[in-house]
Amino acid sequence: TQGACPFRGTRIGGAQGSEPNVNHWWPNRLKVEALYQDPPQSNPLGRDFDYAAANAKIDHKALWEDVRAFLHTPVDWWPSDYGHYGPQMNRMSWHSAGTYRIADGRGGAGQGMQRFAPINSWWDNGNTDKSRRLLAPIKAKYGAGLSWADLIALAGTVALEDMGLPVQGFAYGREDAWSADVNTYWGPEGWFGKPPSEQPADPQLGHPEQMVNRGLRWEGGPKDDHYDLENPLAASHQSLIYVDPEGPGGNGDPMDAARDIRETFARMAMNDEETLALVAGGHAFGKSHGAVPASEIGGAPEIAKMSEQGLGWSNPVGSGNAEHTMTNGIEGSWTPNPTQWDNDYLTNLFKFEWEQTKSPAGALQWTPTDPDAPKTPDAHLPGVMNPLMMMTTDIAFKVDPAYRKIAERFLEDFDYFTETFSKAWHKLMHRDLGPTSRWLGPDQGDTFIWQDPVPEVDHPLINETQIADLKTRALDLDVSATDLIAAAWAAASTYRDSDKRGGANGARVQLAPQRGWTVNNPARLDRVLNALTGLKSDFDAKGPAKVSMADLIVLAGCAGIEAAAKAGGHDVTVPFVPGRTDATADMTDDESFEWLRPVVDGFRNYVDDAVGYSVSPEQIALDKAALLSLSAPEWTALTGGLRVLDQNWDGSDKGVFTDRPGTLSADFFRELVSTDLDWQPETDAETAFDLVDRATGQTRWHATRLDLVFGANAELRQISELYAGVDGERYFVDTFVRAWHKVMMLDRFDAKAERKAA
């Protein structure tokens, strides 16, 4: 075997994709391939598949009833606790949505990512593989018209309704991803931010690195150390959905647990009241499973044996399920009636004193001190009654004064608790579904402010002649084409494809907080918005067609690009699709929109120095390009184009490598890749640079990392060189105009065909 051909990777050497490879050798390289997450090639439905059309064909009512019937139909290979799969399904749905984080909109229920690594194998997601497999017959029955992402969210919602909670409706529309998310950063693997290799081994479970590989949670390390939750992540560390149920680092301290719960749920856009409603509401149902020590349990789905067919965490004890189930390690139920919506969770939390005990698996949990406290029936053994259980994170709601106040109100007013939980659940399930134009199905519930609503169009839209006329009139205003471009970019570029928030629709660029963001250069933005408001009033007065500010801002930007292209000798028409409307301040949650503020904006050469960074600006710029779903050529063309169009937020000359700012040309690329220039950092930190003429020693241009990365990174440089070449400008202009239009259309789910074409 030693002499076998290593090329095949069959005998010695690794398989295709295994380490060592580029990311192993150069872990800090800019991973431009991060722009190609979940590529269309991985999707077996093909590019023309229309989920909305397929979903419209299914009988939603019958589906709801099928899920309800399934909840009451136990199967032998994974029997339900208490004869009801509701709690198990509810936890699966919550964990699917619970990865959401408002800072970058990633995570969440939107694409069914719970099916893939790493999330399918996180210790915290133990046995959700069984929950999904139990639903497989329903998925097969409804086929492609019902995505896994929708079914996962639906099952927990039907479960709540079936167990007695009035729900707010349910919207479909989550389109499945078909490949693992290999890019999202989920936080450090061990406690306290140290890599697993630097952490001590757990006496029972071995070295942290092995544990992570097995999908197990490592609980070694100094339990009382203080650590900061890494901003902006929404879990205290990788492989947890939120926080450790046993308290931070398993320290059993309810006040510490309260601090972590507050912080992590806030990062998921939930306030204290919503948080408490969700946890107290969720834990009215079901039980925790800790019948067997974790060391007995097999590997997570990603490393399970072939014969396990994608299921993980095999349990060799007894039947391996039912009364032997081992999921988290804590054992027991919170209430005497775990399949019924009632207020017993809070009643018992407050009525009794609780003391720390250990589960059969060795986990830290709490039991009532009063021997007369109610008991809860065993989930499988007839006639057996067990003590109630609380987790450290549950006790947190009693000891933290702010949570306690809310809990007392919920305790006294069950109807209010019910309504708050129901609404918070609806938000949890739909938070990352995007504008309601993406929502599908017959019963979507009321509109809430977290949906970032925009009004319906209630007037005739502008036609081609009026579009042409408005373009001319915009260019005649007392603001420059550069200013018009800046306003359009400020409006549209807030979009993020992760949770489909932001974008030009709604014209929220004219509202707080966006209007005042430094990156938007508020003084210049005000001038443009005032000028466009005047133009809008003139136009609307004539009627019957009206133009919204949202449309006009984008339209004026198109006019600005066309004028800039013309100055460069390119006769282009930038496509424009009307139909946007203007939101008002009451439709806008300022705090929630503040999360869309860029801390680094490579397109406008902006770095907010007030934010401490552990990664370079170009990595954050790449991240933003990914959130705008740009390809590498689109990202490169837009950045180079916006530089020559003088779009730096502060009007600085950094990266404006042209003698004719405001003209669309490939000058940026020609200068960037020119071998006549030397690139000299202004300081050792390499944040600012002078581009010096090698022949004369004179500084020709100034630049930042956000400019020079397009010459330094191997892949981006290839694109820059193409654009700089003799025939490159036409590729550049084409890509720039296409990418510009694409960004303007990113939030236009209401104009589905045009959006897809863009």
Catalytic positions, please? 95
Token code pair at residue 246 = 């046993």
The least CB distance from residue 443 to ligand HEM, in Å, is 20
Residue 112: closest CA among 154, 52, 56: 154
Q: Within 13 A of 276's CA, how many CA atoms are on the CB side?
A: 26
CA distances to 147, 701, 733 from 711, in Å:
42, 14, 19
Which residue, 278 or 479, is less far from ligand HEM as judged by CB?
278
The least CB distance from residue 290 to ligand HEM, in Å, is 6
List 120, 128, 328, 735, residue binding ligand HEM (CB under 6 A) = 328
List 94, 191, 218, 410, residue binding ligand HEM (CB under 6 A) = 94
Which residue, 155 or 433, is less far from ligand HEM as judged by CB?
155
Where do we find the tokens 């060189």? Answer: 721
**Using rule CB under 6 A, residue 560 touches ligand HEM:** no
**Using rule CB under 6 A, residue 617 touches ligand HEM:** no
The least CB distance from residue 421 to ligand HEM, in Å, is 8
Which residue, 376 or 720, is less far from ligand HEM as judged by CB?
376
**Whole-angstrom distance, CA of residue 594 vs CA of residue 435:** 18
**Using rule CB under 6 A, residue 521 touches ligand HEM:** no
Which residue, 393 or 505, is less far from ligand HEM as judged by CB?
393
3-state helix, strand, coil split of the chain in percent (to 5) is 45, 5, 45
CB 284 within 8 A of CB 345: yes
The rounded Cα 663 to chain-centroid distance in angstroms is: 37
**Using rule CB under 6 A, residue 243 touches ligand HEM:** yes
The least CB distance from residue 448 to ligand HEM, in Å, is 17
∠ at Cα 157 (120, 456), nearest 5°? 105
Site string for ligand HEM, 344-383 (x = CB under 6 A): ----------------------------------------
Residue 578: closest CA among 698, 426, 466: 466
Residue 482: closest CA among 656, 637, 702: 656
Helix (H) or strand (E) holding 364: strand 364-368
Helices 728-745 and 714-724 pack at an angle, to 10 degrees, of: 120
Binding residue count for ligand HEM, defined by CB under 6 A? 25
Q: Which range binds ligand HEM by CB under 6 A, 34-42, 322-330, 609-617, 628-636?
A: 322-330
What is the per-residue DSSP string for 150-188?
A: HHHHHHHHHHHHHTTPPP----B--PPP-S---S-----
CB 82 within 8 A of CB 377: yes
The least CB distance from residue 264 to ligand HEM, in Å, is 8
Which residue, 112 or 245, is less far from ligand HEM as judged by CB?
245
Q: How many other β-carbons are positioned within 10 Å of the β-carbon of residue 303?
A: 14
What residues are paired with 703 via a beta bridge?
Answer: 689
Restricted to residues 259-278, the positions that interact with ligand HEM (CB under 6 A) are 261, 278
Helix (H) or strand (E) holding 252: none
Which residue, 359 or 658, is less far from ligand HEM as judged by CB?
359
Which residue, 288 or 713, is less far from ligand HEM as judged by CB?
288
Site string for ligand HEM, 695-724 (x = CB under 6 A): ------------------------------
The least CB distance from residue 203 to ligand HEM, in Å, is 22
Residues with Cβ < 8 Å from 571, sequence gap 6 or more?
565
Q: Which range binds ligand HEM by CB under 6 A, 90-98, 552-560, 716-724, 745-753?
A: 90-98
Residues with Cβ < 8 Å from 291, sequence gap 6 or more?
317, 323, 324, 325, 326, 331, 360, 361
What are the φ and ψ backbone dihedral angles of 576, each rounded to 5 degrees?
-145, 130
Q: Helices (DSSP H) in 295-343: which residue ranges? A: none
Which residue, 263 or 754, is less far from ligand HEM as judged by CB?
263
CB 599 within 8 A of CB 620: yes
Q: Which range binds ligand HEM by CB under 6 A, 36-44, 84-92, 143-151, 168-176?
A: 84-92
Q: Which range binds ligand HEM by CB under 6 A, 32-40, 239-247, 515-523, 617-625?
A: 239-247
**Using rule CB under 6 A, residue 90 touches ligand HEM:** yes
**Using rule CB under 6 A, residue 82 touches ligand HEM:** no
Q: How many other β-carbons are positioned within 10 Å of the β-carbon of residue 22?
A: 11
The least CB distance from residue 67 to ligand HEM, in Å, is 16
Restricted to residues 378-407, the positions that interact with ligand HEM (CB under 6 A) are 391, 393
**Using rule CB under 6 A, residue 242 touches ligand HEM:** yes
Residues with Cβ < 8 Å from 562, sequence gap 6 or more?
471, 572, 573, 574
Token code pair at residue 669 = 């690329």
- DSSP code at position 253: -
The least CB distance from residue 260 to ligand HEM, in Å, is 8
List 152, 330, 504, 622, residue binding ligand HEM (CB under 6 A) = 330
- DSSP code at position 144: G
> Strands 364-368 and 354-358, how do they pair?
antiparallel
List 108, 188, 245, 453, residue binding ligand HEM (CB under 6 A) = 245
Which residue, 294 or 529, is less far from ligand HEM as judged by CB?
294
**Using rule CB under 6 A, residue 91 touches ligand HEM:** yes
CA distances to 75, 148, 351, 418 from 137, in Å:
12, 12, 43, 32
Token code pair at residue 121 = 């194998």
Which residue, 242 or 740, is less far from ligand HEM as judged by CB?
242
**Using rule CB under 6 A, residue 249 touches ligand HEM:** no
CB 394 within 8 A of CB 283: yes
Which residue, 289 or 604, is less far from ligand HEM as judged by CB?
289
**Using rule CB under 6 A, residue 327 touches ligand HEM:** yes
The least CB distance from residue 289 to ligand HEM, in Å, is 4
**Using rule CB under 6 A, residue 217 touches ligand HEM:** no
Q: Which range binds ligand HEM by CB under 6 A, 144-152, 199-207, 292-300, 323-331?
A: 323-331
Helix (H) or strand (E) holding 210: helix 208-213
The least CB distance from residue 430 to ligand HEM, in Å, is 14
Residue 439: closest CA among 63, 173, 144: 173
The least CB distance from residue 139 to ligand HEM, in Å, is 20
Q: How many other β-carbons are positioned within 10 Å of the β-carbon of residue 20?
A: 8
Which residue, 155 or 554, is less far from ligand HEM as judged by CB?
155
List 32, 35, 64, 87, residue binding ligand HEM (CB under 6 A) = 87
- DSSP code at position 497: T
Q: Which range binds ligand HEM by CB under 6 A, 240-248, 446-454, 562-570, 604-612?
A: 240-248
Where do we find the tokens 């504008």? Answer: 435
∠ at Cα 120 (118, 124), nearest 5°? 95
**Using rule CB under 6 A, residue 250 touches ligand HEM:** no
**Using rule CB under 6 A, residue 88 touches ligand HEM:** yes
Restricted to residues 277-296, the positions that interact with ligand HEM (CB under 6 A) are 278-279, 281-283, 285-289
Which residue, 428 or 627, is less far from ligand HEM as judged by CB?
428
The least CB distance from residue 369 to ligand HEM, in Å, is 22
Residue 114: closest CA among 130, 103, 133, 129: 129
The least CB distance from residue 338 to ligand HEM, in Å, is 7
Which spans of this chain sit near ligand HEM (rule: CB under 6 A)? 81, 87-88, 90-91, 94, 242-243, 245, 261, 278-279, 281-283, 285-289, 327-328, 330, 391, 393
